[in-house]
Amino acid sequence: MAYNRQDAKEMCNATELELYDQSQPPKLFKLNQEDLKKNIKRSRDFRDKNRDLFRRQSIEMADTTGNKRGNSLIANQRTEMKAELMSEMLERFEQQLDNTSE
């Protein structure tokens, strides 16, 4: 699922939202290779952080409710969505780095 800025604004803190904005054209096309590499690292770190948090939440909910999605079945959906958003950002930065390397 492709997330738009409104989705990102609802899920992200100010630092993450700034990174999201940099992953979108036209700002994305203005980044040099050094900045792209920094943003790749940052977005990968944010993605990994949210994936790990999602896993921990799922395990904790499975222990307490007997269901890894919690009683509401969507208890940690926002964390999963945020990890997906970070993955999308990472892909855009990596693609742009590949394009500038050619």
Question: Which pLDDT score is estimated for 65?
Answer: 76
Per-residue tokens: 94: 């990596």
8-55 pLDDT, tens digit per residue, is 999 999 999 999 999 999 999 999 999 999 999 999 999 999 999 999
Domain ranges of the chain: 5-101
67-97 pLDDT, tens digit per residue, is 655 566 566 889 999 999 999 999 999 999 9
Q: Is the pLDDT of residue 7 over 60?
A: yes
Question: Which pLDDT score is estimated for 42?
Answer: 98
pTM of the model: 0.88
CA distance 17 to 50: 15
CA distance 16 to 43: 8
CA distance 94 to 37: 8
